[in-house]
Amino acid sequence: MVGLHMTTNNKEANSKYMSGDIRHLINKAIQDELANLPATLAEIKDPVQRLSFLTKLMPFVCAPIKQVGVSTARREVGEDNMFSM
């Protein structure tokens, strides 16, 4: 069989290329599905199933919300010295 007698360097180079290729193909498939998302959602008639679909999708689409303390939030937006006397 062709390709079974590759050297280690060739095998590593091919696997790096292939993993990048696979990553590109997966990314393309996901982008295509995201483009079809409105049509997919329109096909789901049951509100419970639609809500289930959206809640499962949400962690991948929405950024996570980070809980911070009031003093940290004021420091991050530059309001930490506004209320000091």
Which pLDDT tens digit goes with each residue over 39-79? 989 999 999 999 999 999 888 888 777 776 777 777 777 77
Q: Is 52 contained in some domain? A: yes
Element spanning 77, H or E: helix 70-77
Query: Is residue 2 one of the residues assigned to a domain?
Result: no
Counted domains in the chain: 1
Let me know if residue 1 belongs to a domain.
Answer: no
Range of the domain at 69: 8-77
Q: Structure pTM? A: 0.44
Query: Under a CB-based contact definition with an 8 Å cutoff, are residues 78 and 71 in contact?
Result: no
Residue 56 lies in a domain: yes
Q: What is the mean pLDDT of residues 24-52?
A: 92
83 belongs to a structural domain: no
